[in-house]
Amino acid sequence: MARLRRALRPLGHHWWQRPGESFTLAYATSLSHRLPLLYLIVVFDVVLLSLRFAGSAPLLHVLLGPTLGIYAVARGCYWLPARVARRPIEDQRLDIERMRRLGAISALLFVAWALSLYPYGDVSQRAMIHYLLAVTMFSGILGLAHSPQTALGIAAVFTIPSTLYFLAVGHPNVVYVSLVQLVVTAIVLMVTHGHHRDFVRLELSRQKLVRRERRAARLASAHYRQATVDSLTGGMNRRAILACLQAEMESAAKSRPWLALADLDGFKHVNDTYGHSAGDHVLRSVSDRIGEARGVIAHGRLGGDEFAILFDGALDARAVGAAARRLSAAIREPIGHNNATLRLCASIGLHRVRGESVSGSLERADAALYKAKTRGDGAIVLFGPDDEITLQHRIAITRQFNDCALDERLMLLYQPIHDLRDNRVIGVEAFARWSPDGVNWQAPGTFMAIAEATGRTGELTRLVLARALEEFRPWENGLDLSINLSPRDVHRDGVVEAITSIVHKAGASPSSIILEVTERALMDDPKRATIQLQAFRDQGFRIALDDFGAGWSSLSQLRDLPLDMIKLDRALAAALSDDPGARAVAGMIVALAWQLGIGCTIEGIESAAQVEAARSLGINLMQGYHFGRPEPAGIALIGLDRAVA
Q: Under rule CB under 6 A, which residues in 380-399 are in contact with ligand C2E?
A: none
Q: Is 464 in the site for ligand C2E (CB under 6 A)?
A: yes
What track of x and - describes contact with Ca ion for positions 445 through 484 (by CB under 5 A)?
---------------------------------------x
Q: How far is the CB of 517 from ligand C2E (least distance, A)?
A: 9
- How long, in residues, is the chain? 645
Rounded Cα distance between 263 and 304, Å, is: 9
* CA 381-303-298 angle, 5° bins: 65
Q: Is 624 in the site for ligand C2E (CB under 6 A)?
A: yes
Among 516, 517, 566, 619, the residue binding Ca ion under the rule CB under 5 A is: 516
CB 453 within 8 A of CB 437: no
Containing 428, the helix (H) or strand (E) segment is strand 424-434
**CA 67 and chain centroid, separation:** 69
Name the segment binding Ca ion (CB under 5 A); options: 147-155, 487-495, 539-547, 619-627: 539-547
Task: Return the number of the residue (415 or 500) whose C-beta is nearest Ca ion.
Answer: 415
Q: Under rule CB under 5 A, which residues in 572-601 are in contact with Ca ion?
A: none
Rounded Cα distance between 353 and 568, Å, is: 45
Among 275, 444, 599, 632, the residue binding ligand C2E under the rule CB under 6 A is: 444
Give the DSSP per-residue string, 262-302.
Answer: EEEETHHHHHHHH-HHHHHHHHHHHHHHHHHSTTEEEEEEE
Among 203, 263, 480, 546, the residue binding Ca ion under the rule CB under 5 A is: 546
DSSP E strands: which ranges in 468-549?
A: 480-484, 513-518, 542-548
Strands 631-632 and 621-622: unpaired
Task: Return the number of the residue (238 or 394) whose C-beta is nearest ligand C2E.
Answer: 394
Name the segment binding ligand C2E (CB under 6 A); options: 79-87, 170-178, 297-305, 442-450: 442-450
Q: Is 360 in the site for ligand C2E (CB under 6 A)?
A: no
Compute the Cα dihedral for 237, 238, 241, 246 and give only its sign. negative
Task: Return the number of the residue (270 or 463) whose C-beta is nearest ligand C2E.
Answer: 463
Give the closest residue to 533 by CA, choosing from 552, 508, 514: 514
What track of x and - describes contact with ligand C2E for positions 511 through 540 (by CB under 6 A)?
-----x------------------------
Compute the Cα dihedral for 314, 317, 321, 324 and give only its sign. positive
Q: How far is the CB of 624 from ligand C2E (least distance, A)?
A: 3
Name the segment binding ligand C2E (CB under 6 A); options: 221-229, 484-492, 576-584, 635-643: 484-492
Q: Is 519 in the site for Ca ion (CB under 5 A)?
A: no
Residues near 438 by beta carbon (within 8 Å), at least 6 away in sequence: 408, 409
Rounded Cα distance between 144 and 152, Å, is: 9
Compute the Cα dihedral for 600, 601, 606, 607 and give only its sign. positive
Name the segment binding ligand C2E (CB under 6 A); options: 249-257, 275-283, 440-448, 502-510: 440-448
Question: Which parts of this chain interact with ligand C2E (CB under 6 A)?
Answer: 415, 431-432, 443-445, 448, 461, 464, 484-486, 516, 546-547, 570, 603-604, 606, 624-625, 630
